[in-house]
Amino acid sequence: MAQFSYQAKSRDGKTVSGTVDAADRRGALAAVSRLGLLPIRVEAGSGGASAKGGGASGAKGGGGLSLSFSKPAGMDPRERLLFTGELADLLDGGMTLGDALNALARRGGGAGGPAAVVAALRDDIVGGKSFSDALAGYPKVFTPVYVNMVRAGEASGAMVDVLRRLAAHDERERAMRSKISSAMVYPIIVLCMGVGVAIFAMTYILPKFKLVFDQIGPEGLPPATKLLLGANDWFKAWWPAVVLAIAGGVFAFRRWTATKAGRLAWDGFKLRAPLVKGIVASAVYANFASTLESLLRNGVPILRALDLTSETVGNEVVGAELRKARERVTDGTTISGPLEQGGVFPPMVIDLLAVGERTGDMPSALEHVAKRYESQLEKNILVFTTALEPIMIFAVAAVVGFIAMAIMQAVLSVTSGIR
């Protein structure tokens, strides 16, 4: 038997330390847990701690995982997805929640970022909080949907299943956002190249012909060349004002869309705008269906599920309609009728929801809705990129072509005059 020194958390939240005898480190961890403590650090050899069984220790440093943080840094969505999946695996393997959180916090290596969040959750659990209440203390990391699904898992005793569904839900959302972002990459590249070529032509190529244009004189220049030179002179004189106007417009637009009326108007426009309306609508309906399905499948009441979905659906028009539908729900189960009254949701969604109500399996109906609109999203993205590509190329070619034509017309005027 070897001797191991440890630091641990007691049930009243105090840091304690001591020594235990065990055959290996795994046995030492088990021995500390049997004392009713949550292990923080276990090392071979005596650590100069108090007597076996663990006395209170005032030291909170000592090279272990620092616990002296109040509001730690957060997790990004990718890190939260990884945390959820790993926690589900550890719980499924037989670990207690406190031990699993402790293992994840130690694995993070350091007191910042995700490891700090996990360690703080562990401390809250040791202090007597439920897991859902601990998660609710970090709203920037864990959404209301996440917290309520965990709360439902605590009530049903199916925490592992809930965590796996949360991971699958987050993975679907990440995939959806990735598809939309990928659809915008090519148009943005083409637009940036076009703007870059236009700026290069106006600032580098055009001045090279200034001597030629001065010889012709303003009266002898072709109309296109006059327009190009006038635009160039105007931009040189007013470009600070143009930059400020653009920045001010972006700022004003962001402030406007931050208001309830502005967000409602902008989200409504996106649902009607050519080219993008198919992508926006498909993403919104797929998100609505997958979120509501996850909540209902984990036992969240329908009215609460509608509230949470309205907050996370990603479109204020659809969110407002969900809140109205919640008010119109009378028996607490039927939602297809109230949603149909608003006229926002397409007939396909309403029909599938009605089928789910008749069969008593609403989550499966919502799963069909989510899959259908995820498939529709991929098709709409393909249509968008196929249509936008020639439009962007034509617009860039028109600008560059006009600049080239204006310069060549002036040059031809000079050469014809010489002849």
pLDDT for the residue 169: 79
Look at residue 222 and give its three-state secondary structure.
coil
Q: What domains sit in the chain, N to C, each tagged with a CATH number?
A: 2-56 (no CATH), 77-142 (no CATH), 175-419 (1.20.81.30)
pLDDT for the residue 251: 95
What's phi and psi for 320, nearest 5 deg? -65, -40
E strands within 270-385?
A: none
* 407 neighbors 227 (Cβ within 8 angstroms): no
pLDDT for the residue 108: 59
Look at residue 273 and give its three-state secondary structure.
coil
Q: Please tell me the pTM assigned to this model.
A: 0.65
What span, in angstroms and rounded, lies between the C-alpha atoms of 122 and 415?
82
pLDDT for the residue 249: 94
Mean pLDDT by 10 residues, the chain (419 residues): 75 73 72 71 56 37 38 72 88 84 73 76 82 87 84 78 84 79 79 83 78 70 82 85 93 92 91 86 88 83 84 86 81 74 87 88 90 88 81 84 83 66
CA 124 to chain centre: 26
Radius of gyration (C-alpha) of the chain in whole angstroms:
31
CA distances from 166 to 19, 200, 254 (A): 39, 50, 31
pLDDT for the residue 59: 35
pLDDT for the residue 245: 95
pLDDT for the residue 256: 93
pLDDT for the residue 71: 45
pLDDT for the residue 52: 37
pLDDT for the residue 17: 81
Instruction: Enumerate the β-bridge partners of residue 207.
Output: none
pLDDT for the residue 253: 94
What's phi and psi for 270, nearest 5 deg? -65, -30
What's phi and psi for 19, nearest 5 deg? -135, 150
